[in-house]
Structure 1
Amino acid sequence: MVTTGLPAGRRTGRVLGFWWFALSGAAVAAFAVVPYLTASLRQLAEQDAGLAAAYAGRPAWVQAVFYAHIVGGGIALAVSPLQFAARIRARVPRVHRTVGRIAVAAMLVSGVAGLVIAPLNQAGPVGTAGFGALAVLWLWFAVAALRAARRRDFTAHRRWAVRAFAMTYAGVMLRLWLIPLMFAAIGWFGVAPEDAFATAYAYVPFLCWVPNLLVAEFVLRRS
């Protein structure tokens, strides 16, 4: 969130954008991850909560990878917006570096885990392709941002960090897209309410991250 030297309108827009990303990321990190840490997958599956039913009957190692994916993704979502706070970078660079290492570590854990379980998703081959591509790009961008920072190429580092965050934010957009898609499935296509989630979920493997990356590239080109 760099605001120095910008017109008032753009400064306000960036501040509002920062708080939107920070609060929405924290909200999803809390409400989408905490239930999996406070109840078993079997209990959540009985409550029809989230993706629990898809993994409750899986082998223990698959469940462990699933937990690594959601916990790592939750941490990345919660801390990544702090990396775009110009005041933190300028006044307490050590905090920026520490939070950056935490964010990259969380992305790597969640990205590798996401790549492993991509073939087990509920959207079939489209989901495998969409979520698999998301995981690969997420890992690529996170590593590229880290490598650029280590060679002190901070311009490249910020650009790769923006792309990495666009992939991280897929965790928020997936949930935001599901809501209108479920209503559309019921209202426009006559899908039964109990089948609306499965119908909507078939569209999100690419929808949750491709628009994010396009917007990120647009912003980077303007910058």
Structure 2
Amino acid sequence: MISKLLISYISRGLQLLFSIILLAVSAAFLGKINWNYPRVSYNIAVSVLTLIYLGYIISISGFLKNQTWPLLIIIIEFVFWIFYLAAWASIADFMWASDCGNYYYSDTKTACQLYKSILPFGLFNWILFSIDLIFITIYIIIPYIKNGIFNHSLQPKEFIWGSIFLNGEVATDVVNRIETPDEEQAKAELESEPSQAQAPTQANYTNTTTEVQP
């Protein structure tokens, strides 16, 4: 069975690789046509944001002992899933000629080939973020909701490198679950009931001993 750490290394490593390639290919395309092409510029923006996010993931492993907020990871992963869906779909929505060899000028041929190369790398990263979300849903979101402790996702937790899997089971959070004010009040009332029940008994005992004395 593949370990969680290995899955994290593979996923984050490929995301880093594909983001760099996507950035390079998109920038080369804009360099060839010498004017702004919004669909491609959007792919550049998404790839740059991905590199920033992966830089954050790497930095917390070195400086914060892999501790971060689960809810933050959940939100960012979902946002990037949407970003990459829009990125590759925008390229697929308008493709150049099916055969780039039909263009006469070499620069146009090169631009056509670069444009077609953008699609697969955006699609690959979308698939990787989809896989991340599946693991996060199975190992973080569902256990937190099932155990009624989703509010713990607002607290910093230790992750395995890559911030896809928590370092430990969610069950440990259940054991250390913080009691709500209502639960604390109910517990205090239960603890006070035995002392209240013992008070009449002690009074009756005192009255009985007083009556027996000559």
TM-score range for the pair, normalised by the shorter chain length: 0.3 to 0.5
Say which structure, 1 or 2, has more relative contact order (CA 8 Å, 6+ apart): 2
TM-score by length of 1: 0.35
In terms of fraction of residues, the more helix-rich structure is: 1
TM-score by length of 2: 0.36
